[in-house]
A and B are shown apart, each in its own frame.
Chain A
Amino acid sequence: DAGVTQSPTHLIKTRGQHVTLRCSPISGHKSVSWYQQVLGQGPQFIFQYYEKEERGRGNFPDRFSARQFPNYSSELNVNALLLGDSALYLCASSLGNYNEQFFGPGTRLTVL
């Protein structure tokens, strides 16, 4: 079975631009979470979606938004990019809200 997939793998943007990151969960998983990981730190929770509804939101500005589609795939959108948004963005899927998280390979975003 395929694991969690994310696209693109790398992305370079300039300040003020917007970006859309995509995630496909493991087949059968209905929960998708997004995390931001800055070099040398642990993943920081951004959003969780379950059955297409937002179930949790971390301490991130409104420039960050996400959605989950009927096939349980998900998008993370970031508007008005700042230099500080440069990070590895991880998507994780799980069977339910309390289960282990299966992480994708991540999208490395660089903002210049």
Chain B
Amino acid sequence: GQQVMQIPQYQHVQEGEDFTTYCNSSTTLSNIQWYKQRPGGHPVFLIQLVKSGEVKKQKRLTFQFGEAKKNSSLHITATQTTDVGTYFCAGPRLDSSYKLIFGSGTRLLVRP
């Protein structure tokens, strides 16, 4: 079945260092969404990418959607302690856009 994988599973960085998480789908996605979940919290929507090769920026966060629409990445420049949390990518299943498949997530820890 369709799978969405993320690497790495964990990343522990020093405050100020950069961070990148990668998302790979076994099949082509019509779009990809990114969410952040703080410890003990619920997922919060960050962004949606739709076009092949699309790049979007939100302050220190840069999101990319691959040319083949099967992979995506999230890059954080100069991490801060407020960036701590788990970052999930999610894409709709091919047989129905109503079913959102979440990746396994990357947990980011930031040392002050």
Query: Chain A: residues with CB nearer than 8 A to chain B?
Result: 33, 35, 41-45, 48, 50, 55-58, 90, 92, 97-98, 100-106
Residue of B nearest to A3 (CB): B42
Contact B98 A90 (CB under 8 A): no
Query: Chain B: residues with CB nearer than 8 A to chain A?
Result: 31, 33, 35, 41-45, 48, 88, 90, 92, 96-105
Chain A facing B: main interface SS? strand
Contact A56 B98 (CB under 8 A): yes
Knowing that A48-B98, A97-B97 touch, tell me 14 more A-B residue pairs with CB under 8 angstroms.
Answer: A33-B100, A42-B88, A42-B90, A42-B103, A45-B100, A48-B99, A56-B96, A56-B99, A57-B99, A58-B99, A100-B45, A101-B100, A105-B41, A106-B42
Complex Cα gap A102–B48 (Å): 13
Given the contacts A100-B45, A102-B45, A105-B42, A41 and B105 also touching, CB distance less than 8 Å: yes
